[in-house]
Structure 1
Amino acid sequence: MRYPARLAAMGAMALATLAPSAMAVANEQFIPVLSYRTGLYAANGIPWANGFVDYLQLVNLRDGGINGVKIAFEECETAYGTDRGVECYERLKGKGPTGAAMFHPVSTGITFALTEKAPVDKIPMVTVGYGRSDTRDGSVFRWNFPLIGSHWTAAGLAIEYLGREVGGKDKLKGKKIVLLHLDAPAGREPIAVFEKLAAKHGYTFTAIPVTAPGLEQRSQWLQIRQMRPDYVVLWGYGGMNPAAIQEAAAVNFPRDRLLGYAWSGAEPDVIPAGDRAKSYKTLMLQHGAERDKVHQDILTHVYGKGAGLATPQEVGQILYNRGLISALVSVEAIRTAQAKFGNKPLTGEQVRWGLENLDLDAGRLQALGVATMIKPLKASCENHEGARFGRVQQWDGARWTVISDWIEVDGTVLDPLVKESAAAYASSKGITPVDCGKL
């Protein structure tokens, strides 16, 4: 079995003692791990990678692999850089007896850079809660899977929630909503949805960009103070998020009217802001900071054997859970594909079939120990996203509390936008969409 790249510091001799036999390698499924444990966003990248790898370890140590096929994995450090992400992709795509099963870019910028490579190499990309939102349309984007949610879904959820806050979406008319966003692919991705929904519901929308890494926002918040918006939606990452919370406090903007999206709503986003973060709200990517049965299994089978990458106290935090869920859907897609192609290491093309036929119903989620964390998920040729649900949480100064019930996005605006954008992409690239009804 392969181990995360960070163990290279132990020395080549130590790693040599862990080398698997040729027979073991032949029966391994290789899953690359693009991680960023260094750089500006390390505080976010480390817990995600820990949760992802811990779940792979759980499947190996508790279950003996996926139906007897052990998972091999290797971390490659991207520092959240698109160029390094592409380098990692090229380095890892051919590893393992059948090549990489799939990639999780863990960056919208890396996702855009790899979207044209994946079809050529026949390796699927899974982007849980980020990436290209139009890749929901699997008739065009055969190799992209924005499972559980996308930037566009998150924008729709934000407006659904704010509509509830004011007593109905019809009462959003005349309200002022500002999007404070990182001036990067991830930050710009939701703008189209907010504009479309503004035209439908009558609110005034203003997008205000923040130059990466987003630590300096004084001028933007002075502009916000002058505008006096009803709500500010925060689409940031890393240090931009606590900086925004602190600047909001400096201009006396109420934190309970500052709504972050899912990647602006984890422990590293609020703890640095101290008491000024109290009452701050964010969307959830379905899960929050919580523990279910899967966490106890990880503590028993992984941490109990000294194989965990985090501390036991960090198991169940938000970004840890996001990495865990990302690994879980990957494992279940492989398991789904094995039912068709056999219990053996599968190619990326076979795993793509498993992703497109992934069906995690309530019973399966219960069996996996994550029933409290995510809603049932069902992908298809037409729908590579699988679910469009979310919740809202609020920081009380010490912990996150879920303050809403489940919210589902209204697809009457999002679905046509996805189709329009996917069709434009297909036309520009000379792609003929598949007829999903004939597959």
Structure 2
Amino acid sequence: MSESLKAVKGMNDILPPESARWEWFEDVVRRVMSRYAYQNIRTPIVEPTALFVRGLGEVTDIVEKEMYSFEDKLNGDPLTLRPEGTAGVVRAVAEHSMLYEGGKRLYYIAAMFRHEKPQRGRYRQFHQVGVEALGFPGPDVDAEVILMVRALLAELGLSDVRLELNSLGQPAERQAHRAALIRYFEAHAEQLDEEAKRRLHTNPLRILDSKNPAMQGLVEAAPQLMDFLGEASLAHLNAVRASLDAVGQPYRINPRLVRGMDYYNLTVFEWVTDRLGAQGTVCGGGRYDGLIEQIGGKAAPAVGWGMGIERVLALLEDAGRAPAPLTPDVYAVVPDAAALPVAVATLEALRALGVRVQMHAAGKDGQGSFKSQFKKADASGARHALIFGADELAQGVVAVKPLREAGAPQELQPLNGVSAWGQKLCATRPDA
């Protein structure tokens, strides 16, 4: 016998009933997005490698270490499984001239791929909700996308997540800060680890994001970008803060918050928690006004965020907020195969009304005993059993037996009046 095949490490199957939690989460996301008038966009899983190299930056961890890249066997084109969502959305917006008639508010729910060490809430195939507001230059939309996260977290019932905020200013301001950082770290070169030394002259801003405990004192004393921001950048940040203050949203200014991609400018933010260990970022994003032009489109402002679905579901599980899986409203007990035509027709009519129906499936030896069918009906979690017995069918009725209410009487319902009692089954559903 050949060895059984298994999923790729860090790429997980999502099986029932766990998949029901994902569906519930996605429904909540779509509900919140509709309130903010954001529309869904779906881009390919595979993109040209150059899109991410150009968009994210050659010396980012994602491009250097984590991308799944390969050559197209037919034409040799370098391709990459998308490691994040923003670059692909921006490519689509530019390619299809979507901003010709004005700004666009977009969102996606999609799988991403990064080759990194799998751990709880962080896998090699992972999933994100992302929001991109393109064509809007003002701080009002920065505040809008931040508060959208607040609304989503509230809808999910998560409260132990806090907001951190910073500004990366504009390119000239970052260049001045970059030069100051290089001078500072060169003067303390003996305290830098190998990763920091490698980044010193390519991307010194990323040294500020070091997780090495031995370097935290050095990082804390480094020059702060906030001290290099000009009047316009500070005004933009203060306008975002004013909107957050107006709705009572707490936040902390974190001058070390830099994010992992090169394309950010002005506002950057993260929603973080202490309940996921070292991987505490639940959602992160910011403004990226130069990215559209950088990948070949017409210059336009943009701001957005990405949220890791696995991390949010882990938080929900810890908080006891995992929804119960959906169960059938009714389980159809069909003692005799001769009753199948009537049973199937009745069940299809119920499904058309919105009733969740599970029909007993016959085994190789037939329908199975009445007792065994009832055992499966109970195990299904259904609220009622529908019994299509010979005596009932002879009277033109079906027996409706409550399975979750002790002592509740069994009722007989007419087969020619499915609409009336079927609607009642929907109306009395606990989640109706």
Higher strand share: 2
Q: Is the TM value for this pair above 0.5? A: no
Length-normalised TM-score, structure 2: 0.23
Which structure has more RCO (C-alpha within 8 Å, separation ≥ 6)?
A: 1
